[in-house]
Chains A and B, each alone.
Chain A
Amino acid sequence: MTIEWGWFPDHTGELVRLTADHLATAVPAVLFGLLIALPLAVLAHRVRPLRGFVLGASNILYTIPSLAFFVLLLPVTGLTRTTAITGLTAYTLVVLVRNTVEGLDAVPARVREASRAMGTSPLRTLLTVELPLALPVIMAGVRVATVMSISLVSVASYIGYGGLGQLFTDGFQRNFPTPVIAGVALTLLLALVADAVLVSVQWLCTPWLRGASGPRRPKLRKRA
């Protein structure tokens, strides 16, 4: 199997377009996933009886094959990008909901009580105390969900919205490996870059975790 390098210069435009397409499917999926997962997770965290139900439901969504998901949505949304995004969104839920619930669980009860004792409203406690403290665990989920979405977009090539996945179909039908290799390599690269971007975002959002190592220590220690 050889790579025909001559193929690349002729197809730069196509590669750029497909990469943009790929992102236009994967990124909204993660954003919508977050939009749905955050309230669900808060609900599961606050209302104990709902917890098992919410986590179980998102688990079942995950067992439905990605290809089957797209196909099952066909009668509802047809051959559109919406189908691809909806399917991927459902897929991100399992990681996002689970990680957000775990992140909220890990916030020490003392911290929550202290915030309430100072007269902060429950909503404000959630937004300014609990969610920021849960952020590292939530972001770990966002990273997994993003990488997974980027990889799964190619499955949507069967319904015509596969982004770089279109290259696989193309190479397969013409028995020509070069576009397939290009597609795999670009997908991996995209996942790597997206992951790095998310790590930077997390770094920017959690200034309190920066210090020499781990949580900030009281300055007194240095003198001792």
Chain B
Amino acid sequence: MLELLKNLAAWLTSSAQWSGPEGIATRVLEHLEYSVLATLAAAVIALPVGLLIGHTGRGAFLAVNLASFGRALPTVGLVTLVFLAGGLSVWPVYVSLVALAVPVIITNTYAGMAAVDPEVKDAAKGVGLRGRQILWQVEIPLALPLIMTGVRLATVQVVATATIAAYVSFGGLGRYVFDGLAQRDLVQVLGGAVLVAVLAVAADLALGGLTRLLFRGRPAAAR
């Protein structure tokens, strides 16, 4: 066990391991590319839908059920399916990562919008704000903390799951995990796993910092 940890530390810190087209630095960048693009695409799809459902109050049933459907959908199965249907391209990776992130963002956005005090919305209407103004000036600012929670959760899950890119022969940190499993090289597998975990935690902390920056100067209750 101790021997393994020593080997792992050596693997993680050797400079040869970090450089080059197969090095850790390249793999981290690839991993980030898949994760960032997938999360952005998911946000572009999910945020308007979540806001619309929250603003109009219609389709809440759909949102709740979509969430549990999304949680139940096995990502490995989805990526395999798209891969078999579409052949060798990077699409299966993005399709399954986006499918993973969309439900999380939609439900949290909807939850944030639903938690806005109806009296506040009434008051906004009372002082003459129109529907769109209420959405942008009242509802979204109040719902933003929960919306950001959704984006954060989705990002962490996407970073953690982007290892599947390697499953369908692409890069990213999953390369180490799958190659290591195939070569029975536990050190490499563990190295990859540790790097993914660190990246996921770092992404979570970065978005947490961003959220705090966005809400600087707001009363603590609104956070």
Residues of chain A at the chain B interface (Cβ within 8 Å): 1, 60, 62-69, 71-72, 74-75, 143-144, 147-148, 150-152, 154-155, 157-158, 164-165, 167-168, 171-172, 175-177, 180-181, 183-184, 187-188, 191-192, 195
A84 CA to B39 CA, complexed, in Å: 28
Point out the residues of chain A lying under 8 angstroms from B1, CB to CB: 75
Nearest CB of A to B168, in Å: 8
The residue in chain A whose Cβ has the minimal distance to the Cβ of B85 is A1
A63 touches B197 (CB 8 A): yes
Residues of chain B at the chain A interface (Cβ within 8 Å): 1, 4, 68-69, 71-78, 80-81, 83-85, 156, 159-161, 163, 167, 174, 177, 181, 186, 189-190, 192-194, 196-197, 200-201, 204
Point out the residues of chain A lying under 8 angstroms from B84, CB to CB: 1, 171-172, 175-177, 180
Q: Is the interface of A mostly helix, strand, loop or mixed?
A: helix
Which of B78, B156, B174, B192 interacts with A62 by CB under 8 Å?
A: B156
Nearest CB of A to B208, in Å: 11
A71 touches B189 (CB 8 A): yes
Point out the residues of chain B lying under 8 angstroms from A63, CB to CB: 156, 160, 197, 200-201, 204
Point out the residues of chain A lying under 8 angstroms from B190, CB to CB: 71-72, 74-75
A165 CA to B197 CA, complexed, in Å: 23
Point out the residues of chain B lying under 8 angstroms from A155, CB to CB: 74-76
B161 touches A65 (CB 8 A): yes
Point out the residues of chain A lying under 8 angstroms from B76, CB to CB: 154-155, 157, 165, 168
Nearest CB of A to B8, in Å: 10
Q: Which of B72, B174, B181, B200 has the most CB of A within 10 A?
A: B72
A157 CA to B201 CA, complexed, in Å: 25
A151 touches B74 (CB 8 A): yes
Q: If the complex has contacts A63-B156, A64-B200, A158-B181, are A171 and B80 also in contact, measured as CB distance less than 8 A?
A: yes
